[in-house]
Amino acid sequence: MSKKKSKSSNSNTIALNKKARHEFHLQDKLEAGLELQGWEVKSIRAGKVNLSDTYVHLKNGEAFLLNATINPLNQASSHVVCDPTRPRKLLLKKREIDRLIGARERQGFSIVATAMYWKQCWVKLEIYLAKGKQAHDKRDAVKDRDWARQKERMLKHKG
């Protein structure tokens, strides 16, 4: 008999952009596929991905992921030119791209990548329509998080 992998034992998450939640108010979530080269998939399997400071650029009715770093493995073939920060095309439906274009142009949203994960055998990217936070919003978020932590401590010591 073959053993099945349990979904709870291993996470499907490859990389996170933790900074995005601090820098932006995240609104609408979308899931996009990525157009990758073979060496990039091998590097992603090895966990050599960095999503900090990534964003999505819309050009000619297509979406591209910029500033994502996928470091090549040492075992990568010598005849392949590996550019770790090349723009990668996002695979979205025309309707989704039109929605992103409208939100960015009319309402001033930014499009931010927050997570990269496996969905079956495909690499997916979680992107959000986001508004930038002001300095006072960031301070409020830190204050609320600290207060929640203190409440947990007080309740823990009380009980």
Domain edges within the chain: 13-133
For position 5, what pLDDT does the model report?
44
Q: Which of 9-13, 21-25, 128-132 has the lowest mean pLDDT?
A: 9-13
Enter the pTM of the model.
Answer: 0.74
Is the pLDDT at 3 greater than 50? The verdict is no
For position 109, what pLDDT does the model report?
87
Higher pLDDT, 77 or 98: 98
HEC string of 10-55 equals CCCEEEECHHHHHHEEEEEEEEEEECCCHHHHHHHHCCCEECCCCE
Strands 69-70 and 49-50: antiparallel
Question: Is the domain 13-133 a CATH 2.40.280.10 member?
Answer: yes
Q: Work out the percent of the chain whose per-residue pLDDT is above 90.
A: 36
Opening angle at CA 95, ends 92 and 98, nearest 5: 95
Quote the tokens at residue 45: 């399997």
For position 116, what pLDDT does the model report?
93
Is the pLDDT at 45 greater than 70? The verdict is yes
Q: Look over the chain and give the mean of its residue pLDDT values, rounded to a whole number.
A: 85
